[in-house]
Chain A
Amino acid sequence: MTEFSYDIVIIGSGAGGGTVAAALSDMVRDGVRILVVEQGPRLADHEFTGREIEMADALYEDGGGFLTADGTMTLAFGRVYGGSTVVYTGTSLIAPERVIRAWDVPGLDHADIERRSRRYMEQNNVHYLDASEINENNRLFVEGCERAGYRAEQFPVNVKGCRGSSLCNLGCPNAAKQGTNRVQLPHAERNGVEVVTRAEALRVEDRAVVVRVHEKPAGAKGAPSEWAPGEYRISAGIVVVAAGAIGSPALLLRSRRDGGSAAAGLRAARLPRLGQGLTVHPAHILVAEHGRAITNDVGHPKSYYMDRAAEEGYVLETCMYFPFTTAKNLTGFGEPHSRLMRAFPRLQMILVLAIDRALPWNRVTVDARGKPVVHYTLDDVVIERLVRGTRASARIFFAAGALRVHAPSAEPQLIERDEAERLDERIHPRHFWPGKVSVSAAHLMGGCAMGRNAEDSVTDAWGRVHGVPWLYVADASLFPDALEINPYLTVMALADRVAEAVRRDAPAHLARARDQAGAGTTGSVRV
């Protein structure tokens, strides 16, 4: 095993890791060596083709279809330079004040989150799209909301030079979306932060990380790793884990189980909440058919939303997906399914997201091979919220002029316009069969929650892991409960706080690490 030494190692390069890397990058000038370890590849601009399966395989874990343990929900999360900021739609909302208050984390207040969020909105060019850039799929949502008595709001988005490809979730083919791959990571690298891609963090040891660098598979997209394939042990004064709400708890659980004496300090820490309290905003894709073709697969796909989280436990968002993703998310098969697919140019789509609560049994564990296993139960509360959101969506679709609506929690699923008065009866939890109905989630939160102490959480309000002073977490796994909106901007705000804590704590940690390692060993030294 090759041994390297750095001062700070950041695991993950998404909204969390990328932000920490950029925020700390000026420390490189003072001789601090910083390394970002990313499991996915680094793609060149021309490799973003917008082709569905090709891009999903290149950018997502399990092609975007990571299954929960009981097989009733798929999770989508990025595994690429820039993490999930490469594959989201760039929607950038500041965390609701009531949510941060309800989190009740001592030392974390909304004003601080808002201040930091605004800084990243500026940095990543967040703004409202001009009315001329909004397609009919979105405009119909706004019109439908107005007529049905709901209030649609526009998403601010982080794009620059958007051409309206509609392919955001497959990685922008025009480099318009301002994720960490476009803003924070290049900035960090210009300042001297090193990034190693195709590097899987196997485990965290005491003040060290063991990684396996993979060879580029034949025919795969992306550059080869910056390092030669093989295993590396990288010692570090500070380790920041930002591998996402699935990856971070899994990595820490694996490290505590398999780390042996090399992870004695990490193993000694009492962390009973590690992996628990996962929330995901379980979601349905709903479609409705209009009598004429609309602009749906051109233009930014997610420009508006309707927030009923506080009142009814759901949020509706506009969306537009690709042929396979659409087919997968329609319930059933055969001729009725095919008929809807053939109506693609006439389809309007809405995404229903249920607000779920952090519950101890919804959690991340690891299997015998150390791979993450996500245990999540679609309980009655979540199903009821999905059903409520589906009913509201159907009202909006019909108010916008749709001829028929496909509702997963209806039997039969297709609801015709003349049934619009019977939506409460037609769309009902009794028709929601987990395992039959497609449920997916991309807002993955919790598992390394912030809080007061080890009894109720994994880290403090600054991402410091309880009882392990050199170890930090900086991603959506910090959320003590669902955020109730799209999470990436809040991840960046929290990561910015973690970077501040790292900077504050660094002199003591790095001095101690240098003392332990002996003079002159800091830096990327092959042993």
Chain B
Amino acid sequence: MRSAFPGPFRSIAITVVPEAARLDEAGWTEVEAIIGRALDARPPVVRRQLGMLIRMIGLLALLRYGRRFASLDAARRTALLTRLQDARLLLLRRGVWGLRTLIFMGYYARPAAAAEIGYRADPRGWEARQ
């Protein structure tokens, strides 16, 4: 099944949250649906900017390493995103911040991810721990 986001999105997501590599198709659908809903609640320009940033990351991978982002090893993917995160240009830094934030939202807002990291908050509070 195709991703709802441009080409390198899932490879970027796995670079941001390595555990995402273990997601099955249903898991990816859930992650992308959460991100999609967040984007739907914002002006359309935000989705366009996100798409441009993802495509730019794909292009940078080609320019720097001569390979698609998805074909790079984990170290090179991380290095590329880190360079952008540490860029002198605020626009690039906040772009990466926004992209990683959306990926964190998609991944960690799922109940399965919360359980995986041991988050156990329960509306019943102390009673639920007894």
Contacts and interface: CB of A to CB of B under 8 A. Distances in A.
Given A165-B125, A324-B104, A436-B86, A334 B97 contact: no
B94 A165 contact: no
Interface string B99-126: 0110111011101011011111111111
B124 A71 contact: no
B29 interface: no
Contacts of A248: none
A342 B105 CA distance: 16
B93 interface: yes
Interface stretch (B1-9, B15-23, B55-63, B64-72): B15-23
Size category of the binding interface on chain A = 35 or more
Contacts of A97: none
Given A72-B90, A323-B108, A324-B109, A344 B122 contact: no
Nearest to A162: B125
A43 B38 CA distance: 21
B104 A174 contact: no
A395 B34 CA distance: 38
A165 to B, nearest CB: 4
A133 B127 CA distance: 12
A327 B122 contact: no
Nearest to B104: A327
Given A63-B38, A63-B41, A328-B105, A334 B125 contact: no
A420 interface: no
Given A163-B126, A328-B104, A342 B109 contact: no
B119 A344 contact: yes
A338 B100 CA distance: 13
A323 B113 contact: yes
A50 B15 CA distance: 29
Given A299-B126, A342-B117, A53 B90 contact: no
A81 to B, nearest CB: 20
A167 B123 contact: yes
Given A53-B105, A344-B119, A323 B114 contact: yes
Given A53-B105, A63-B38, A333-B81, A298 B125 contact: yes
A435 interface: yes
A298 B126 contact: yes
Given A297-B120, A332-B85, A53 B34 contact: yes
Nearest to A300: B125
A62 B94 contact: no
Given A57-B41, A342-B117, 16 more contacts: A52-B109, A53-B109, A70-B94, A71-B98, A72-B90, A133-B126, A164-B125, A164-B126, A165-B121, A165-B124, A166-B125, A323-B114, A328-B104, A334-B16, A344-B118, A435-B93
Interface of B: 15-19, 34, 37-38, 41-42, 78, 81, 85-86, 90, 93-94, 96-98, 100-101, 103-105, 107-109, 111, 113-114, 116-129
30 contacts: A50-B122, A50-B123, A52-B109, A63-B38, A63-B41, A70-B90, A70-B94, A162-B125, A163-B124, A163-B126, A165-B121, A295-B129, A297-B119, A298-B121, A322-B121, A323-B114, A324-B108, A326-B108, A327-B107, A328-B105, A332-B85, A333-B16, A334-B15, A337-B16, A342-B118, A345-B118, A345-B119, A433-B86, A435-B93, A436-B85
